[in-house]
Amino acid sequence: MDQFDAFKAMGEFWARAGAGILAPGASWPSFPQADLAGLAAAQSSLAQAWASATALSQTLTASLKSGAGAPDPTAGAVLARIFDPQAWLGGSAEFDAVLTRMAEGPQLADLWQTERRYGALLNAWATLRRAQSEHQTVMLDAWTRAAGTFAQEANTRAERGEGFASARAMMTHWIETANAVLLEVQRSDAFLASQRAVLKASTDLRLAQQDLSAFLADFYGQPTRAELDDVHKSLTELRREVRALRRERRAAARASMRHDAGARTAEEAHG
């Protein structure tokens, strides 16, 4: 491989790796409509790009080390670093990898972690939407029952020539009918189960959001929710201790006053 071929290979690597990296990123802004298959495809694309980059890097390194025109091992090692995608993405090799991550942003390994969290978030969101749909189905069934009951009664009235006296009277009757059905439905196993599923799914979504947020907050040096909770827990415990100490001090002061009063009484009695 000559130098030209090496740069051509690098160009090809960047084009492929860049496309792979940008593909999932481009889909993030529209994540509410994203489907998990799409996300999986994006992740797969990135995985392929990353695998290609690694393979290419290894091939280039190997060819440089074994090539007839590359007897200098120092130059080979330097070039190997240059062809390491992580070194290129993470900055120069002089920086510690952790320090680089702290200072400059994610490496590909961290992007993977971010994407996994986005995946969990999307999954939680999809679960919530499904739970809401199932709950809405229960409610829609209740509405159909109420509407059927109301229509039947209204038809019976109409057939007897006893329509509602006013639009308000008709509305009042509909409200009473619907209320009775809804109250009954709310105690049904189907309603309670589907509502519990919605609550659970919304909680899971919130926790998935917090997991992602904690990851990013940690990444950018911001306090995470868990760290704040720790602080709040300590604060609550400290407040408890302060209150207890105040009570003890007050009790001691009262005891001292009683003691002093008792001593004075005794002195007066003996004086």
Number of amino acids touching other proteins (CB under 8 A): 53
Pair of tokens at residue 183: 């109250």
Least Å from the CB of residue 236 to other proteins: 4
Helix axes 167-186, 189-219, angle to 10 degrees: 80
Report residue 77 as tokens: 């090692």
Does 157 contact other proteins by CB under 8 A? yes
The CA distance from 222 to 226, in Å, is 11
CA 43 vs CA 22, 112, 133, 232: distances in Å: 11, 8, 28, 38
> Which tokens is 210 given?
């917090």
* 175 contacts other proteins (rule: CB under 8 A): yes
Among 15, 51, 55, 171, binds other proteins (CB under 8 A): 171
- Looking at 28-107, list the stretches that DSSP marks H as alpha helix, in order from N- to C-terminal side: 36-66, 73-82, 85-90, 97-104
Question: Residue 146: which of 191, 183, 177, 190 has the closest Cα?
Answer: 177
Binding mask 203-222 for other proteins (x = CB under 8 A): xx-xx--x------------
Q: Judged by CB under 8 A, which stretch of 78-86, 128-136, 230-238, 260-268 contacts other proteins?
A: 230-238
Q: Are 79 and 13 in contact (CB under 8 A)?
A: no
Which stretch in 59-67, 78-86, 127-135, 151-159 sits in contact with other proteins by CB under 8 A?
151-159
**Residue 160 interacting with other proteins (CB under 8 A):** no
Contact residues: other proteins, CB under 8 A: 144, 147-148, 150-152, 154-155, 157-159, 161-168, 170-171, 175-176, 178-180, 182-184, 186-187, 192-193, 195-196, 199-200, 203-204, 206-207, 210, 228-229, 232-233, 235-237, 239-240, 243, 247
